[in-house]
Amino acid sequence: MLRDITLGQYYQTDSVIHRLDPRVKLMTTIVFIISLFMVKNFIGYIVAALFLIGIIKLSHVPFQFIIKGMKSILLLLIITVGFNLFLTPGEAIVSVWKLTITREGVKIAASMAVRLSFLIIGSSIMTLTTTPNNLTDGMERLLNPLKRIKVPVHEVSMMMSIALRFIPILLEETDKIMKAQIARGADFESGNLIKKAKSLVPLLVPLFISAFRRANDLAMAMEARCYRGGENRTKMKPLKYYKRDFIAYGFTGFYLVFVIAIGRVFFIL
Amino acid sequence: MAIIVNHVSYIYEEGTSMAVHALKDINLQIPDGQFIGLIGHTGSGKSTLVQHLNGLIKPTHGELYYNGEDYYSQGFDMKRLRSKVGLVFQYPEHQLFETDVFSDVCFGPKNLGLSKSEIELCAYAALKQVGLEDEYFYQSPFDLSGGQKRRVAIAGVLAMKPDVLILDEPTAGLDPKGRDEILDQIARLRQETGITVILVSHSMEDVAKYVDRIIVMNKGGILFDDTPKQVFRSYRKLEEVGLAAPQVTYIMHEINNKVFPVDTDVTTLEEAKSEILNALRK
């Protein structure tokens, strides 16, 4: 059940995308997300979809695996679409009881759904192909200039990497505690909302206790190794750009220009 | 015949690059009242197997039967099964959540929908069975020592009055004294109530003294399924899969080879002692 959540998970395999510098992947993801919000027409979404499909193909991550991760945001997606569908004022198409679906509503809901799912797929491709360590390393390097204005970049990225590292651990822990309580006859599924919320107590209390215990252990282990933040700290594997990274940057730039250009062309037409 | 495992296979993350074949065609019969040791190296599939017995994992292939009923047939009462086949997880103290020991133990029977007095009777009996003194009953479970917490957690499962008790590494992380206490308690419990006990462990030493049957797992399959004496005879084979026979077995083999003939089939220290004394008298 909980194993189905692939958000933020790393998929171990070998591909061009996996080997890319994390900075490239971060920048490309940001560019891709920005492009999604610049697109104003159907053709633009097709270009974005093609770009996404191309990257998925290159990444060797099975498509099913990515779709599985989408399940966790299905509810969010449905709510967003629902709100937009029914609450956008405009020319009415269908009207049932107090709910009216408008032409504008359909348009906005559809583009919202596409944007949201592309956004999630795009960012999960990044996390699926980059180890958490690499990702935070990349982020630290990208944010490095902010150090001049006293932003604790290293500390922030360390917190990020710890948080990311703990996602699978806590998921596994949740799975384990859930099973242990089910074995003691706990029921997490049936009953009304209040009963369901109450049934979470035997899950949440042990989970919090274990999270604090782990945090304590980690802090102790870090202190035992004399960790004192980012000052004068060197990397075991410093990030370095290769030829493929520049090519990837080129592709990303080309994609952005293309999406903007297509928007303009169709705007003029 | 309490539990029958029929050609059960299980694959984790089927269809991805991370697919792991955790169980391969397992066949087992677990009759009533046996004391079974389930032994295997880390990752041999023993934890996965016991979760199948409790209905927590559905096998990818194969069937499981409890008293002749298929676990996944229509109308099978899974909740009842889980009370009848009690599973104590590894580090069970991590599942404690209530404000005091007694209410935590009450959680299991409460879920079975018993009346308040029945619940409290079950909990009280279970806490007595694991040998916890009354003075701890209304303390927070988080203030207890590691060994006491574990007893409380085991009591939490015992309170549901299971016919089969499965313990997944009940002694992990305990000191030798705590380990012996827990195992002795389990052995005593079994003698008193006659329930089936399955003890999962990676240590032969732990189980040799208590069990009447050993199942050795390796890489998702069953390697041996026999009495301890028979299993320990193949101690060379056990070493190959990263396990070992009890130290007594090695000593007896050495004595037999180098000093004087003794019976190498003994499994416990006590038996070895009397066997050596016997041999010396001859």
Report yes or no: B54 at the A interface, CB cutoff 8 Å.
yes
- Helix H or strand E encompassing B7: strand B3-12
Residue B222: its pLDDT value, please?
A: 92
d(C-alpha A217, C-alpha B96), whole Å: 20
Percent of chain A with pLDDT over 70: 96
Closest CA–CA distance from residue A185 to any residue of chain B (Å): 5
DSSP, collapsed to helix, strand or coil, labels residue B115 as: coil
In terms of Cα–Cα distance, which of B90, B100, B95, B89 is closest to B143?
A: B100
**Average pLDDT over every residue of A246-259:** 90
What phi and psi, each to the nearest 5 degrees, are found at residue B239? -65, -35
Domain residue extents for chain A: 1-130+239-269, 136-236
Q: Which residue has the tokens 């979470």?
A: A200
Structure tokens at B182: 């827990």
d(C-alpha B184, C-alpha B190), whole Å: 10
Q: Which chain A residues are Cβ-neighbours of B112 within 8 angstroms?
A: 185
What phi and psi, each to the nearest 5 degrees, are found at residue B189? -55, -40
Q: Which residue has the tokens 């030829």?
A: A243
Q: Which residue has the tokens 């299993």?
A: B231
In this complex, the residue of B54, B111, B160 whose CB is nearest that of residue A187 is B111
Residue A4 in this model has a pLDDT that exceeds 60:
no
CA dihedral B188, B192, B196, B199 (to 10 degrees): -10
Contact B94 A187 (CB under 8 A): no
Q: Compare all CA atoms of chain B with the CA of A202 and give the residue at the minimum distance.
A: B97
Q: Compare all CA atoms of chain A with the CA of B110 and give the residue at the minimum distance.
A: A185
CA dihedral A210, A216, A220, A222 (to 10 degrees): 90
Give the sign of the dihedral formed by CA B123, CA B125, CA B131, CA B137. positive
Closest CA–CA distance from residue A141 to any residue of chain B (Å): 31
Choose, out of B95, B106, B157, the residue to mutate when testing the contact with A (most A CBs < 10 Å): B95
d(C-alpha A218, C-alpha B46), whole Å: 29
Q: How far is CA B161 from the centre of its chain?
A: 16
CB of B30 within 8 A of CB of B2? yes
In terms of Cα–Cα distance, which of B121, B82, B85, B84 is closest to B105?
A: B121
As a whole number, the mean pLDDT across chain A is 84
Closest CA–CA distance from residue A187 to any residue of chain B (Å): 8
In this complex, the residue of B18, B51, B97 whose CB is nearest that of residue A202 is B97
Residue A7 in this model has a pLDDT that exceeds 70:
no
Contact B56 A179 (CB under 8 A): yes
DSSP string of B157-207, one letter each residue: HHTT--SEEEEESTTTT--HHHHHHHHHHHHHHHHHH--EEEEEES-HHHH
d(C-alpha B233, C-alpha B256), whole Å: 14
Q: Which chain A residues are Cβ-neighbours of B97 within 8 angstroms?
A: 201-202, 205-206
CB of A10 within 8 A of CB of A135? no
Contact A183 B156 (CB under 8 A): no
Q: Spell B151-164 as b/e; 16+ CB within 10 A means b.
A: bbbbbbbbbbbbbb
d(C-alpha B24, C-alpha B30), whole Å: 18
pTM (2 d.p.): 0.74
Question: pLDDT higher for B132 or A263?
Answer: B132
**Average pLDDT over every residue of A90-94:** 74
Contact B157 A184 (CB under 8 A): yes
In this complex, the residue of B18, B94, B156 whose CB is nearest that of residue A184 is B156
d(C-alpha A154, C-alpha A147), whole Å: 9
Q: What share of chain A is helix, strand, coil (3-state, %, to 5)?
A: 75, 5, 20
Residue A1: its pLDDT value, please?
A: 44
Structure tokens at A91: 């020319």
Q: Which chain B residues are Cβ-neighbours of A183 within 8 angstroms?
A: 54, 56, 82, 86-87, 89, 157
Distances in Å between the Cα of B260 and the Cα atoms of B265, B272, B273 are 15, 14, 14
* pLDDT tens for each residue of chain B, 282 residues long: 689 999 999 988 776 666 788 899 999 999 998 999 999 888 888 889 999 999 898 999 999 999 888 989 888 888 888 889 999 998 998 889 999 999 999 999 998 888 999 999 999 999 998 888 899 999 999 899 888 999 999 999 999 999 999 999 998 888 888 888 889 999 999 998 889 999 998 888 778 888 889 999 998 899 999 988 888 888 888 888 888 888 888 888 888 888 888 888 887 888 888 888 888 887
pLDDT digits (tens, 9 = 90+) for A136-172: 888 888 988 888 898 888 888 888 888 877 887 888 8
Q: Which chain A residues are Cβ-neighbours of B86 within 8 angstroms?
A: 183
Q: Which residue has the tokens 């991370």?
A: B18
DSSP string of B35-85, one letter each residue: EEEEEE-TTSSHHHHHHHHTTSS--SEEEEEETTEETTSTT--HHHHHHHE
In terms of Cα–Cα distance, which of B63, B40, B59 is closest to B51?
A: B59
Q: Which chain B residues are Cβ-neighbours of A201 within 8 angstroms?
A: 97
Q: Compare all CA atoms of chain B with the CA of A62 and give the residue at the minimum distance.
A: B16
Distant-in-sequence, close-in-space partners of B181: CB < 8 Å, separation ≥ 6: B131, B147
d(C-alpha A46, C-alpha A62), whole Å: 21
Report yes or no: B142 at the A interface, CB cutoff 8 Å.
yes
Distances in Å between the Cα of A179 and the Cα atoms of A260, B184, B198, B205 are 51, 27, 18, 29
Q: Which chain B residues are Cβ-neighbours of A174 within 8 angstroms?
A: none
Residue B1: its pLDDT value, please?
A: 60
Q: What share of chain B is helix, strand, coil (3-state, %, to 5)?
A: 45, 20, 35
CB of B198 within 8 A of CB of B168? no
pLDDT digits (tens, 9 = 90+) for B194-213: 899 999 988 887 788 888 89
pLDDT digits (tens, 9 = 90+) for A97-134: 777 788 888 888 888 888 888 998 898 888 889 887 88
Q: Which chain A residues are Cβ-neighbours of B142 within 8 angstroms?
A: 209
**pLDDT band for position A13 (50/70/90)?**
confident
Contact A180 B92 (CB under 8 A): yes
Contact B82 A187 (CB under 8 A): no
Choose, out of A18, A128, A184, the residue to mutate when testing the contact with B (most B CBs < 10 Å): A184
Residue A263 in this model has a pLDDT that exceeds 80:
no
As a whole number, the mean pLDDT across chain B is 88
In this complex, the residue of B92, B111, B142 whose CB is nearest that of residue A185 is B111
Contact B15 A186 (CB under 8 A): no
Q: Which chain A residues are Cβ-neighbours of B17 within 8 angstroms?
A: 11-13, 62
Contact A180 B95 (CB under 8 A): yes
Q: Compare all CA atoms of chain B with the CA of A177 and give the residue at the minimum distance.
A: B95
B132 φ/ψ sector (left φ>0, alpha ψ -120 to 50, else beta): beta
Residue A6 in this model has a pLDDT that exceeds 70:
no
